[in-house]
Amino acid sequence: MSVPDSSVSQDGAGTDRGNTRLKRTVRISSVVAHEVLSLGADVLPEYKLQTSRIQKWTILHYSPFKAVWDWLILLLVIYTAIFTPYSAAFLLRWVGNSHTECGYSCSPLSIVDLIVDIMFIVDIVINFRTTYVNSNDEVVSQSCQIAVHYFKGWFLIDMVAAIPFDLLIYHSGEETTTLIGLLKTARLLRLVRVARKLDRYSEYGAAVLFLLMCTFALIAHWLACIWYAIGNVERATSGGIGWLDSLGDQLGKPYNSSIVTSGPTIRDKYVTALYFTFSSLTSVGFGNVSPNTNCEKVFSICVMLVGALMYASIFGNVSAIILRLYSGTARYHTQMMRVREFIRFHQIPNPLRQRLEEYFQHAWTYTNGIDMNAVSCGGLSDVMVKKLQMFWFYVCSSSSWLK
């Protein structure tokens, strides 16, 4: 009966050793995970590790509130980029008349424009109270320094874009309404700031392609508004040969000088103008909407030149994105060809040759063609290299202990 007791004791000892190894693995994993996942001063920016000593009513530029506010201002800028040219070209005369007659109560677009102006003014106030990082990677929270930095930067653009011209200028006629429409396009200056912020997504191919398509559509929208404005001005002096008169005749809605509301509807005008600009930018003009006066022809030439430049930009970026997608496959075939040339030159026998090819394929599948030595040693600090070494040691040791 002594033999079974000894075997049971040996099994118990083996189980205890396994539990001890498992506990040691868990303990080491927790320590290594804490060391690896805790970002120290060598990973985070220095200003995020500093003790925040900010004054009252001062906003940190990396705070959640500032991030949400920036996205809200971005949405308002996009609304401005779309509706301000459209309103200035198509709707301002009717909006101005309704505003003169009954104020803001019967003009929702004027109410939205007023809200946008107020939000832009509030954004200027917030920028005067938002910290920034100086050249020494230090957070500046003093009000005077923040004000000087903002005055030297984006204050002028933000101030011009936030001026409520329709409230400051009295509506006294069609000329004043046209002037207000032109001045309100100053809001588009905020797109410069948006372009600077969206530049951070330039490393993503899909994001670049999406932004290019949105830019193409936005420019086509702007050119459509300008195309209608030119046709509207030319209609008074062209003798009935402009594109708007031709559109009215085609739709059976001709213009009548005695009836102010005669002619095509605003929807017909905008859709036709957008169709013309898209067809001109893409060089696929069908001729059913054509320029007739000299001003319309000159504008059409400018649209074709802009379309050629945008065509080259979009196709160049699309080609770069496709090359980036297939660059990994091309590197794999190049490396595989070098391995086979090495085998052929040294006349390596078949069993070893097969193992060498399988090893290369397995290594490529595991690393996806990434040079681990270049990543781990190039550009990383000593602290990060030590943390990576601890993590690799943990992975190798834990797998061997569990076995």
Q: Where are the domains of the chain?
A: 55-202, 204-320
Residues 6+ apart with CB under 8 A from 270: 86, 90, 224, 228
More confident residue, 4 or 298: 298
Q: What percent of the chain has pLDDT over 70?
A: 69
Q: What stretch of H or E contains 296?
A: helix 294-346
Tokens of 238: 């062209």
Angle at 59 between CA 116 and CA 45, to 5 degrees: 120
Please determine, for residue 341, whether its predicted confidence score (pLDDT) is greater than 60.
Answer: yes
More confident residue, 178 or 200: 200
What's the topology of domain 204-320? Helix Hairpins (1.10.287)
Tokens of 287: 């001729």
Q: Are 322 and 242 in contact (CB under 8 A)?
A: no
pLDDT of the residue at 298 = 92
Three-class DSSP category at 241: coil
More confident residue, 185 or 26: 185
**What mean pLDDT do residues 367-373 have?**
65
**What mean pLDDT do residues 282-286 have?**
78
Tokens of 130: 């938002």
Average pLDDT, the chain: 75
pLDDT of the residue at 40 = 44
Give the pLDDT band of residue 397 (cuts 50, 70, 90).
Answer: low
Residues 6+ apart with CB under 8 A from 361: 336
- The DSSP letter of residue 177 is H
Three-class DSSP category at 133: strand
Residue whose pair of structure tokens reads 């400018």 in the numeric block = 302
pLDDT of the residue at 402 = 44
Helix, strand, coil share (%) of the chain residues, nearest 5:
75, 0, 20
pLDDT of the residue at 271 = 92
pLDDT of the residue at 224 = 93
Distance, CA of 247 to chain centre: 38
pLDDT of the residue at 44 = 47
pLDDT of the residue at 15 = 52
Query: Over the stretch 118-164, which tens digit does the pLDDT of each residue have?
Result: 898 999 999 888 888 887 777 888 888 888 888 888 888 888 888 87
Specify the amino acid at residue 2.
S
Query: Over the stretch 75-117, which tens digit does the pLDDT of each residue have?
Result: 888 888 888 888 888 876 554 444 444 444 456 777 888 888 8
More confident residue, 346 or 202: 346
Tokens of 135: 């050249």
Q: Which of 8-17, 277-286, 292-301, 360-369 has the lowest mean pLDDT?
A: 8-17
Q: What stretch of H or E contains 269?
A: helix 266-281
Dihedral sign from CA coordinates of 345, 351, 355, 357: positive
**What mean pLDDT do residues 192-203 have?**
73
Phi, psi of 139 (to 5 degrees): -80, 125
pLDDT of the residue at 36 = 43
Please tell me the distance from the alpha carbon of residue 307 to that of residue 276, in angstroms, as a whole number.
Answer: 12
Query: Over the stretch 380-389, which tens digit does the pLDDT of each residue have?
Result: 666 677 777 7
Please determine, for residue 24, whether its predicted confidence score (pLDDT) is greater than 80.
Answer: no
**What mean pLDDT do residues 286-298 have?**
85
Q: Are 234 and 117 in contact (CB under 8 A)?
A: no
**What mean pLDDT do residues 182-196 have?**
77
pLDDT of the residue at 37 = 44
Please determine, for residue 344, whether its predicted confidence score (pLDDT) is greater than 60.
Answer: yes
pLDDT of the residue at 129 = 87
Tokens of 331: 């590197």
Give the pLDDT band of residue 3 (cuts 50, 70, 90).
Answer: very low
Q: Which of 250-254, 270-274, 376-380, 399-403 has the lowest mean pLDDT?
A: 399-403
